[in-house]
Every structure is written in C-alpha cells, then in structure tokens.
Structure 1
Amino acid sequence: MTVHARKAMLRAGTVLATLALSPALFSGAIRAQEAATQNTAGQTAAAEAEAAATATSGTLLDVVVVGAGQEKVAIDTPQAVTVLDAEDLERIQARSVGELFSEVPGATVIGSSSVLGESFNIRGIGETLSSDETRIIMQVDGVNKFFEQYRMGSFFADPELYKRVEVLKGPASSTLYGSGAMGGVISFTTRDASDFLDPGDVFGGRLKTTWDSNANGWLGSAIFAGRPVEDLELLGAFNYRQANDVVDGAGDKIDDSDFTSLNGLAKARYTFGADKDQSVWGSYSQWTSDEDNQNYDQLEWGSSFGDVDRTVTDQTAIIGYDNAFTGNDLLDVKAQVSWSKTLIEQTNQDEICYSPVYCTYPFGLASDYSYETWQAKAQNTARLDLGDSLEAFVTTGVDAQYQERRNPRYFATYTQPGSSSHAEGYTTIAGGFAQAEFLWADRVTVIPGMRIDYTNLDPTSYRSGGVLVDNLDSSSDVGYSPKLAAHVKVTDWLGVFGSVAHTERLPSLDEVYAGYRVNDVKKELSNNVEGGFSLSFDDVITAGDGVRFKATAFRNSITNFYASYWDSTTSSVVTDVLENAIYHGLELEAGYSSATWFASAGASLIRGENEVSGDYLKAIPADNAFVRLGYVFADYDLTVGYKGEFFAGQDLVSGSENATGGYALHNLFAAWKPEDGMMAGSEVRVNVDNVFDREYRNHLDYDNGAGRSFKLSFARSF
C-alpha cells in the first residue's frame, strides 16, 4: 500500500468514526459494584472468580492473576504481580500505552512523550539504547512482541484495544514465558465479544469518543459484537486517534508528540463439543501511524540525525484451540500459532553533515526496519489429587518462534542490508517448560518450575565499502530457567511468600554481530531472590469492606551484564560488559474498598550498582509512590476521586546520565454510569490530570511530561 493510500485510509477512518459516534454518557462506579451485576455469557472462570473477589474488597490485590500459573488473586501469588483490568484502563483514560503504568509499582514507561518513543522499565531493567527488549517480554494475547531500532520505542499499540494488562515482575516469570525475562513480563489481553454480550444477545457493542484538552486530541472508537448462532461469537473494533503536540507545564510544546493512528481488531470464537468445552478462535489486529517531517530520533529529538517521513505498521494474527476435557483432570490443553510483524518505513531521510566538507546519508535515502515472527506453542495443565488436603496442578508445554529481522537502507545505486550496529538476520528459539503447583489445605502453595530454551542466531549478508560480504557464521546456545516459589497463609489475615529464580539471557543479533564481526559474548546470568508478606482484613470499618496490603523485597544479581549507551565522542552505541550488576529494592501495594469508599496506594524503591566498580547503574527510576482515593454516590451512580503521584529526586546516576528533581502530580477523576432510565448503558468520565500544571520530567524520559489536561469521554453500550 502506498503512502498516499494509507493517508486516504486514515482520512476515511476519521469520517467513518465521526459518523458512527453519537454522544454517549458513562460512569465509573467502582469494580465492586460492577462485579455484582456482570455475568455475561462466555465469562471465563478467571473473570467469575475475580467478580467474587472484587465484590468483597474491590482492590487491585484481589484481581485474579491468570499469567502466573493457576488462577489466583494477586495477593496470594508468591511473586509481585500487578493487574489492571477493564475498569482501571477506562478510568486512566490514557492517550498512549505508556500512561497505563502510573499505578504499577516497580514498572514505568521510559523514552519520551512520543507514542513512537515509548519503551518499558521493570525494577530498573530497561534502557532505550540497549537490547532490553529481550530482558522484558511483552505479549499480546500470548504472542511475543519484539521491536528494536535505536532511538525509537519498542511497542506500538492503542490502549483502547485492551481489557487487561498483567505486569509480572522479576525472573520467576521466565519459566512460563521464556528464558531471559530478567525484568519480567508485560502481558496485554485484547477485548472479547463476550465483554459486550449478555445471555441471549445476538448483537451488542459500544460507541465511544474521547477529547483531551492538552494537544486537542480525540479518539473515536466503535466496537461491534455478535452471536449469530448459539456457539459463535464475533467481534470487530475500530479506533482512530489523533493529537497535536502536547504542551508541558511551562507552556512549551513537546516536539513530535503529535500523531494520528488508525487501529482495529477482529476476533471470532466457535465453541463446540458435548460439554461445550472446546473452542477454536482467531484474531487479527493492526495499528498504523503515518507521519511526515518527524525527527529520526524519537527520544531526544536532536537534529544530528535529521528528519524523515515515517509510517509504522504493527500486525498480529492468531489461530488458537482450547480443550478443557471435561471429566478428565489430566488434560486441559491450549494451543495457538501466530504471525506478528512490526514494520517502520522511512522515506525522505535527510543528508547529515559531520563537518563543513563531509556530508552523507548514513541511513540511506530511505530505510526500513522490520521484525516478522512466526510463533507456535502448546501447553497442558493436569490436576492431580495426591491425598487428603493435597492437590497439584502440573503445567507442561513447548513453544517455538522464528524471527526475521530486516533493515534495508536504500541508496541511489544499491541497497545496503543492515548496518554495523543493526545486523540483519534470523533468530530461532525453541523451548520446553514444566511447572507444578502443590496446594496443601488451602494454606501452603509450593511452585517448582524449569524451562530450557535453545536459540540460534543466523546473520545475513552485509555491505562494507559497497562490497557485498557474506561470511559470518551462525551462533547458538542454550538457556536454563529454574525456580522455586512458596506462599504460606499463616493465618486468615497473614501470608508470607518467597522465591528463588535463575534465568539466562541469550545474546541478541546486535550483541553477537556488532561491527560486522562475530563477537564472543557470554550469556547473561540472573539470580533473583525475593520475598515478602501480605495482610488481608475484612469488615474493618463497616460490614463488607476490606483492607489489603502486600510488600515485596528483591535482590537480582546479574553476571555478564551488557550495558549499552550512546557514546557522543564516537557517535555510536557502545556496550560495556559488567562482571556483576546488582538490582535490589522494595515494592508496596495497598488497597481499601467498601460500598462507598475505595482507596489504593503503591510505592517503589529501586537501587542498582556495579558490584565491581561501585558505580551506580543507569536507568534506575526515582523513588516513587501513588495514592488513589474515591467515593461512590450510589444513589446517583456517580464516582469521584483523587490520585496523587509523588517522585523523589534522583541523583544516584553515573556517566552521562543527568540527575533529576522531585515533583508531585495531582489528578482528579469522576465517572457517571446510570443503571436506570433512558441513559442506562451510557457512560461519561471526566479527568483532570496535573491539576496544578506542574513542569516536570520523569527521570527515565528525555523530555518533559504533559502539563494540565482535561479529558472527557462519552460512551454508550447497546
């Protein structure tokens, strides 16, 4: 598709969204109220368990976790896990995926205010100019998403497509998700037709529009769900979002924070079998942005890399099969195959002058950066009855992926495949895993696990001085990820937990083949220990209320740590291999909920040191905390609240990294969702972010954050 065709499609999408959307009003009674009425057809066991839990306490720590083994509420996992469900995502009203993480202790977005400059950091691991995409695994509906282009972000999507985000922190996630997840895992779940269909419904959906005063941004969203026959569910979702440049607290525009994006999702699921315990399903999603005259550098927006016209397309397609084998405790099978591609096409790239007499096109007249990945995985969970009060759930599985990385750079007379810092090639990964969860008397949970991954890197040809060279050998290695975790309910209100996990990150193409040579790089080895305790109290102030608290401390020791950074002297990415890097810290989460009041809070303190030199590690976030407090006017179906975000100054820096000052952000939100009358099924939300228009900069960002923003959204379900 040509650039002009893409722009025409974007304009057409704007018209369609405008025609489709009518003013729709909405609310935001807390999760506790919604759980009492939600029981839509096709709800999973996880959703039903979550509804039962949130009906009592309604806190983030009572949301069911589905990505850490057997379904359990977050407070009972022997790992630090934060889950944002559909209500959380609606309440935040994020203009980009990165804004969703303001309430996830230990995790933050890094990079810039541009939607094309966002990456992630978990527990201090994650830096924009390194191969951290392999240290943090990102998934959408179980599909690994990977993109790496220096001076760009690593994940491109719209928050409106998702109904759930799970952040699993630390290397213990490697067992189920893949060796090398030293920081952890971020798992996104897209919307389903059953989210919009009640029992007996043939057709349903939602129309929504959102306006943001800062940057005069707006969103148009249309979701259509159908059940044309009893066992077939269909979903189609379409979103168009645009914004001008965001303004910071000083009133200055933030470069390249303007954007337009067109994205959509199509899903189908057919359920069959005598017990309706089997299903086949498929989905396709796409996110596209097409912008002219952008800075090549989406992080610092320096002029030294010039401007480009840039089109970004991210696609994911999945076919899956589930079989619960009703009546057979030894079988519960899930399998899927998928295809994913992230492509950035850059044209009209500027000539860059390094001196008055030396000018060149270092990235070509045009260039592409693409990652295309085929994946397949299958797993089975068996339930074993081992005697009185003792049972086990054993999950075993295999997965594999084949990834093709391309970076053609187009010159007047030839095409250069890749560069000295961005080699083209293929990555093949095959792995197997097993994890058992032993549960005794509903009090003690012990989880041993093991994963083994084989990785092969195969570089393609490259050009040196205009001459084609094809003499690099492939490289392969094996990574191991064992773990042992335990959780004990000492009393009905006190729980203690801990885990020991080891994982090995296999080098990336850039690390092995940097500089057009085969580098003898070793695996990164991570040894992580974490532990903590949790508190649960019900009927504390009023009948039916609940208080939850969880504290987690961790220490992650990494051998052969590859720390990459931009060297302004040589104008290149330089990698230092640290003999031993130590990350350690503390994460706190708390929540309270009653029929009228609700509150949540979280805090994170992270440190990182080079154990040999004693220097601080880069990319350590500032100490931070948040608190959210709200009240439900049940008679009016109205919820109002306040959220504060507090950041300490960060001066534990090294090298060229700059210290940053502390700041506090104050935000207000309100939501109305009438349950009766002609407006039933409508929603309206109002947010005021950064009420006092504070000028600030996140320590891991290269630019200032957004100033005061008024956000208004209208939606109507049908």
Structure 2
Amino acid sequence: MDMRTVTPYASAIFIIGTGSAFAQAPEPFVLGTIYIGSDATTSIGIDNEDLTRTTPKDLQEVFKSEPSVSVGSSLPISQKIYVNGVEENNLNVTIDGARQNNRIFHHSATTYIDPELLKAVRVDPGVAPADAGPGAMAGAIAFETKDVGDLLEEGRTFGGRFITEYQSNGDVFTNSLALFGVSGRFEYLAFGKYADGGVREDGSGGEITGSGTGLTSGLAKVAFNADNGGRLELGYEIVRDDAQRPLRADFAGLRGVLDTRTYTLERQNLVLSYRFGNTTEIWNPSVQIAYNSTDLYTGPMPGATDAYSGKTTSFTGKIQNEFQVANGTVNAGLDFYSDVADINGEGTAVFFAEEQATNIGLFVQAELDITERIRLSTGARYDFQEFEGVDGTRYENDGLSANIAGDFDVTDAITVSAGASRVWGGIALAESFLFDTAWTYPASIEPVTSENYYLGANYRVGNWDFNAKLFKTDIDNARTLLDPATGLFNGGPGQVSDLDTEGYEIGAAYTWTTGFARIAYADIDTKVNGGPADSYIGRYLTTPLGDNLVFEVANTWDRLGLTLGADAQIVFDTSAAGAPGGEIDGFEVVNAFAEYTPRRMENLTVRAEIDNIFDETYTERATYGQEFATVTPLREPGRSFNLRATLRF
C-alpha cells in the first residue's frame, strides 16, 4: 500500500470533529488514554470513559486505537493480544489483580474476557513494575471490571442498566442486565449477558467459517466498607463460549478443508480482597487471594471419536504495604501462585497428563519525585519456583528481576523518558493440549529471562500532544516445545526458543473542550532464534506485524445530547517468510458511530454504528496463517450496521 492511500481516510475522519475544534475554548478535553512519555512506565491506559465511548464488542475493539497493541482473529474464542509484537503469554496478565493462567491450547484464546464487564485496562509494555507480579517478561496487562461506584448515580441507593443490541452482519442479538446498589455499608452488583447470532460474512460476501455467536457472561460483586476505612470485597466473573468453530479455531481451514467442530470454553475468576483501615504514612496494607480456571472442550474432528478436555487453574495471593516517603511511595510485599495445567483424552484416546508450578516472590517498587522535573520508578523482585512435569520430574529455580524507568521534564513542554528491565520468569507450564504422557524431561530446563528497553519523548504545545518511542525486548529460553532441527512442535518438554523484537511508535493528538482527534503509527520487527518470524515459528512468542497506522476522532454536542465519532486502521504490506510474493497484504478499514441521549429522557442512550464502512475484505494482521498457501486464514467481518439502546433505571 502507498502512503498516498492514507489521505482520503484521514480526511474523512478529521471532518467529523475539526469543524468545531478550533472554535472551542483553549481548555482541552481530557483523553482517557495515557500517551507515551506521560509517566515513568509509559503505560497505555484505557479507562471507563474510553470504553463507554467505544463500546467494544471484543478485544480487537478494546485496543483498536493503540497501534503497538494488536489482537489476532475475528473470533473472540481465538483472539490473542500482542504488545510491542510479543504474545500475551509472555506478559503478566491480571483480572481484578488476580494473575491468570490460561495457556491451554494454541488455537484458542489466552485471555477471553467480555469487554462489557470492563471499566479499565492498563498495559505496561516492556518495562513493568516489580509489584505487577511474576512472569512479566515483556510487560503486564491489567484488566479491571466494573464496580458499583462506576454505575450507581450519586445520591441513589439502587440502580439498574439494561442494554439491547443488534448487529446486521450475522443477525447477532445481545441483551444484558445489571442491578446494583448500596445498603448501609454494603455494596452489591449483579450482571448477566447473553449474545446469540449466525455465521458472519466477510467484505466479499463469503461466510466466515465457524463465526456464529454463542456467548454468556456474568459478574457478581459484594463489598463491605468499614467505619475505619477498611474494605472487604468478593468478586466473581465468568465467560462462556459454546458454538461450532473451525477445526482449529484460529484459522478457517487447512488445505482447503473448511469444517467445524464444537468448542466450549469457560473461564472463571474469583477474587477476595481486603484493604485495611486506620491507615497511616507507613501503614497502608492490602491482601488478596484469588482462584481462576479456564476449561476448554474440543469435540471430535469429522469422522473421528476422539475429544479432549483441557484445564488450567491458578490459586494466587498477594500481601503488600504502601509506605509514604518524603518524595513518593514505596510498595513492598509478597505474592505467590500455584498453577496447574492438565488434559483429558476421551473416546479412543483415553489419557490424562498434568504439569504444575508454584512460585513465591518478594518485591519492592518505588515511585519517586526526585525533583520537580525528574520522576523515577524503580524496583526489584526475587522469585522462588518449583516445577513438576508430566512424569513427576521436579525442578527448583530462583532468580532476580529489576527495573528502572524515569521521566525528565526538559522544559514545561518537553519530557524525555527511558527505562530498562531484566526479568527472571522461571519455567512456564507448557500448553496442556500438547502434553504427552511419554515425555522424558531433561536434567534441567533453563529458566526464561528477558531484557526490555525503551526511550521516549513527549512534546505538549497548546492543545497539541506529540509523542515518540523506541522499544526493544529480548527473551531467552522461552518454553515453546519447538524442535529447532525439524521446525515442528514435537521436540519434547525441554525445547526453548529466543525472541528479539524491536520497533518504534509515533503519535499526535489534538484535544478541545468537547472532543479530540489523534493519529498514531507503529512499526514492529520480530525474530525467533535469530531468523524471521512467521505465525507458526512464532507460536507463544510473536507474529509478523509490520507497520500499523490508526486514527480516531470524536466530538460531543452537550446541548443536543449527541456524540459523533470515527476511527480508521491502515495496515501496510509487510514482508513475511513463506507468504505469496514474500509479502502479507495490507488493508484499510473505517468505522463510525453516532450516539444520542434525548434531553427529556436522559436515562436512555441510543447508539448507531457502521463497522467496516467500505466493506473491506481483509484479515487482521495478527491473525494466524496468512503466510502459508495451505492455510485459509480467518477473514474479518464485512460491513455491519449496529443499533444499541441503553436504559438506566
């Protein structure tokens, strides 16, 4: 694709907002996204305001305005997140603070979550703080679900929200209901959702194999707020997907065979947390224990009787105390996990296999204002891990991780940032669907380690914000089961691979009183074992991403109760080993929405969307298999007209 192609798409999006942009007062609209260079961790923040504006239906839409975060697959059941080109298996992923253990099947999702439940997402790309948790080889992702305070109007003790939605592509109907309230010092929240729909079509009118919708999700929370400021909260979240999916759920077919089988995935997350009261500058502790599980059943292939049930579970805990010091805070504590992954074969292939790992980590992380112009984030953790293989082989390992990152305000308008980390991750559990009862483990498996670096700059002038960032991650001894001699994932339990990824991101944003417009571009290059990465060799690690350009604009007219917005993604051709002509084709996709809240009925909001306005036929860049002639990759849906109504009571 030529850069000249960008011009009409950029113009179309900017037209929505810029007509009123320069007539507004100079005080800017505050964006929820934290831009690169804004703090010592260069975090990407997607807050409740962002999620309310974009109403994402899957993880692709959650991150669609972040060019360095990619999500592959058009089916939520097989979507995987890539941060700076690194697959999420190499990041510490938490939901409401609970570390997830979802490495179950390479053809299914790693973190399947319903965006309707979310109030915020924080991504620490590359350099993550020590208190984010263990295994943050290339950073961390923290999902946070909604609380009563996010939904209940001020001054009320009870409320509810009903949402109904229709998507024309696939005739998808979605309904959800939330009830919430406070009674004395108690808070409660109950949410349920059901979505059902048929097979969707791509931009050329072809059916997307196995793309029907069969989703249920739920969230329940109860909390008690003590007189002394303490808070006890219990939360339970569940997502279940049960439908016919492609034989391998992350691509449509192999060697022209487009068929389906049953996939049933259920993920649960139970979290109990307590924040102590009567806090002081040196006494501000909190405690959390949690349990999560992911169950995946795959039905028999056509003409076969063998079925498989895999499960991953994690029991986790964390105790920490935040100390106030003269120029910031210091957070210190202990965390642990006990992870199990297993597989059951059914039919003619009756067997059971299991791996497990336990870990205890000690951590300290400081966030300090060194001077008025210099901010520093630095910390370390030490982890002790025990690992047990399928045949009972045990390993004990321990290691140190450390990080440092800082911001320097060169002037009131210019900030430069830099950071580095060295992370020790122990031995990761293998994917349960690849377990083999005949495995023989080596005398030792080298623990995975990584090094992360970034350098960024931010320039603010008036309502403009410009940013740039360079980043690099090197991961050594990642457990992939890839046999370097054959290039196949049958090399036994001790096989490891190395990953090198580097790239840059640049962006600009203009904000005004009632809206914003922003543009961002990222270019990412990855290598596995020193050679070019494709989506097969890159399993568990990376996939070819190349360069990605995103636009977003929105404006609100308060007196009319109207918000208009649009976004676009332009992905350029990129070289890839094995792809026809040595390249994976790029694409351009544009979406728009209008949202209206009647002044005489402010408890009702109606939203109309057009997804993929120009009916582009394309495959999302992070989707598996685009380089291989034998693979039919999953296309993204073509044009869809969506109507959504939200009633608050």
Instruction: Name the TM-score, length of structure 1 as normaliser.
Output: 0.78
How far did residue 409 of structure 1 move? 0.7
Distance across 2 between alignment mates of 1:580 and 1:84: 31
Could you tell me which amino acid in structure 1 is paired with residue 606 of structure 2? V
State the partner residue of 1:37: none
In the alignment, does 2:158 pair up with 1:178?
no
1:212-231 to structure 2, matched below 5 A, reads 212-229=167-184, 231=185
* Cα pair distance change 1:108/1:579, threshold 3 Å: closer
Alignment: residue pair count: 603
Distance across 1 between alignment mates of 2:217 and 2:648: 20
- Whether the aligned pair in 1 keeps the contact of 2:526 and 2:532 (CA below 8 Å) is no
How far did residue 698 of structure 1 move? 1.9
State the partner residue of 1:468: none
State the partner residue of 2:219: 265
* Cα pair distance change 1:568/1:87, threshold 3 Å: farther
Distance across 1 between alignment mates of 2:414 and 2:94: 33
Distance across 2 between alignment mates of 1:194 and 1:561: 41
- Whether the aligned pair in 2 keeps the contact of 1:428 and 1:455 (CA below 8 Å) is yes
Query: 1:712 pairs with 640, 643, 647, which one?
Result: 643
Local SS of the residue matching 2:505: strand
Query: 2:49 pairs with 75, 82, 87, which one?
Result: 87
- Whether the aligned pair in 2 keeps the contact of 1:58 and 1:592 (CA below 8 Å) is no
Query: 2:602 pairs with 680, 683, 686, which one?
Result: 680
Instruction: Name the TM-score, length of structure 2 as normaliser.
Output: 0.86
- Whether the aligned pair in 2 keeps the contact of 1:175 and 1:483 (CA below 8 Å) is yes
Local SS of the residue matching 1:510: coil
In the alignment, does 2:73 pair up with 1:118?
no
Could you tell me which amino acid in structure 1 is paired with residue 593 of structure 2? F
How far did residue 571 of structure 1 move? 7.3
How far did residue 536 of structure 1 move? 2.3
Query: 1:432 pairs with 345, 362, 368, which one?
Result: 362
Query: 1:689 pairs with 611, 627, 630, which one?
Result: 611
- Whether the aligned pair in 2 keeps the contact of 1:59 and 1:548 (CA below 8 Å) is no
How far did residue 155 of structure 1 move? 1.9
Could you tell me which amino acid in structure 1 is paired with residue 373 of structure 2? R
How far did residue 578 of structure 1 move? 7.7
Query: 1:509 pairs with 382, 404, 429, which one?
Result: 429
State the partner residue of 1:586: 504
**CA offsets, 1:288-339, max 9 Å, x none?**
2222x5434101243689854332221111111012534x111221211111
Q: Return 5+ residue gaps in structure 1 as ranges.
A: 1-28, 31-53, 64-72, 127-131, 353-360, 386-390, 419-423, 461-470, 541-545
State the partner residue of 1:531: 455
Local SS of the residue matching 2:76: coil
State the partner residue of 2:9: none
In the alignment, does 2:185 pair up with 1:236?
no
* Cα pair distance change 1:596/1:310, threshold 3 Å: closer
Distance across 2 between alignment mates of 1:150 and 1:350: 20
State the partner residue of 2:123: 167
* Cα pair distance change 1:217/1:475, threshold 3 Å: same
In the alignment, does 2:324 pair up with 1:406?
no
In the alignment, does 2:333 pair up with 1:397?
yes
State the partner residue of 2:351: 416
Distance across 1 between alignment mates of 2:394 and 2:157: 54
**CA offsets, 1:45-70, max 9 Å, x none?**
xxxxxxxxx98442244x5xxxxxxx
Distance across 2 between alignment mates of 1:573 and 1:121: 24
In the alignment, does 2:262 pair up with 1:309?
yes
* Cα pair distance change 1:330/1:239, threshold 3 Å: same
- Whether the aligned pair in 1 keeps the contact of 2:138 and 2:450 (CA below 8 Å) is no
Distance across 1 between alignment mates of 2:273 and 2:344: 33
Distance across 1 between alignment mates of 2:203 and 2:135: 39
How far did residue 631 of structure 1 move? 2.9
1:30-429 to structure 2, matched below 5 A, reads 56-61=28-33, 75-110=37-72, 112-126=73-87, 133=89, 135-147=90-102, 148-170=104-126, 172-173=127-128, 175-229=130-184, 231-274=185-228, 277-291=229-243, 293-302=244-253, 308-323=261-276, 325-326=278-279, 328-348=280-300, 350-352=302-304, 364=306, 366-385=307-326, 391-411=327-347, 415-418=350-353, 424-429=354-359
Local SS of the residue matching 1:201: coil
* Cα pair distance change 1:153/1:580, threshold 3 Å: closer
Percent identity, aligned pairs only, is 22
Distance across 2 between alignment mates of 1:486 and 1:497: 6
In the alignment, does 2:441 pair up with 1:518?
yes
Distance across 1 between alignment mates of 2:258 and 2:200: 22
Distance across 2 between alignment mates of 1:553 and 1:570: 31
How far did residue 613 of structure 1 move? 5.4
Could you tell me which amino acid in structure 2 is paired with residue 710 of structure 1? F
**CA offsets, 1:104-152, max 9 Å, x none?**
2311112x222211111111112xxxxx62x022211011222221322
Could you tell me which amino acid in structure 1 is paired with residue 311 of structure 2? S
- Whether the aligned pair in 1 keeps the contact of 2:37 and 2:456 (CA below 8 Å) is no
Coordinate RMSD, CA, aligned: 3.0
Could you tell me which amino acid in structure 1 is paired with residue 519 of structure 2? A
**CA offsets, 1:618-672, max 9 Å, x none?**
5131300111123332321211122121111111446999731122112212112
How far did residue 581 of structure 1 move? 3.9
Distance across 2 between alignment mates of 1:605 and 1:570: 27
* Cα pair distance change 1:102/1:658, threshold 3 Å: farther
Could you tell me which amino acid in structure 2 is paired with residue 95 of structure 1? K
* Cα pair distance change 1:319/1:648, threshold 3 Å: same
How far did residue 222 of structure 1 move? 0.8
State the partner residue of 1:476: 396
- Whether the aligned pair in 2 keeps the contact of 1:179 and 1:479 (CA below 8 Å) is no
